[in-house]
Amino acid sequence: MERRELYPPIEPHATGMLDAGDGQQLYWEVSGNPQGKPVVFLHGGPGGGTAPLHRRFFDPAAYRIVLFDQRGCGRSRPHVADGADLSVNTTDHLAADIERLRAFLEVDRWMVFGGSWGSTLALAYAQRYPERVTELVLRGIFLLRRSEIDWYYNGGAGRLFPEAWEGFCAPLAGAGAGEHPVDVYHRLLHSTDPDVALNAAIAWSTWEGATSSLLPNPYRVAETAEPRFALAFARIENHYFHHRGFFDEGALLRDAHLLRDIPGVIVQGRYDVVCPARSAHDLHEAWPSSRLHLVDDAGHAATEPGIVHRLVEATDSFR
């Protein structure tokens, strides 16, 4: 079977900054067909930001493609590297931001597309506002359960990537015995010594960059080491994981029944180390109106050829 590829590059026809309250200005853009089916893209991290490539998962003749940068990262302001206040950056804030953007763009209902943390946020949004969601397309499922955090940040994934794990653990030297690495990093990333904070941010960010694809990708590692990106990515991501996503353990699975009237596609790399396939399987079991595609030659990254194929196949099927 010939694999589908990303659509050709396109430019947005509308951009702006949305006042989300709390002193937050969110960058948004719209591309594709102004009269097309609305879809909103939720980026990963949290703290990752959007990129031009993200427009390309959708047929531009069929979709009105909405991208935005979540609070504190990307082109939204204030940026975490400039001291943005993380106390107003929670899952509830982000879900409300999506709904505010929907109303601002005068969209009645839209498809929601998200991968990794974007899948977490998509589920949280859809469970809060099911009447606003036509379909869900999700990749690299992350339910933000304690077991998932422990696997990735407390040694499990390190057995598969021992050299990268050494780099992640380097800033933890001298930490108290028995402390969870996420909690130690929380202190380091907010150190009053800017060098300590930056070194911790780069170590946190490049750990994910080094483990996100089935095969090594030096470009991704270098990209995640860029200081401004790393500070926002690491501080926001760690903030959410330190606070367990700001919801109860297992809440996204517990409330999956709220998705019963929403069709969806789950695309999951078989060898995803960042977000292991168990979570995709558990979500599919709890959400009968979903279809699950396990991609046997893929890791976590959205750009893996098999992942791209299934994602584009899904968006084409819903157009």
- Which positions are annotated as active-site residues? 116, 272, 300
β-pair partners for 294: 268
CA distances from 298 to 25, 78, 182, 216, 221 (A): 36, 35, 27, 12, 18
Dihedral sign computed on CA atoms, order 264, 270, 274, 279: positive
β-pair partners for 77: 25
Asked if residue 140 lies in contact with residue 268, where contact means CB atoms within 8 angstroms, the answer is yes
**CB pairs under 8 A, 24+ apart, for 178-182?**
180/153, 180/154, 181/153, 181/154, 182/149, 182/153, 182/154, 182/238, 182/241, 182/242
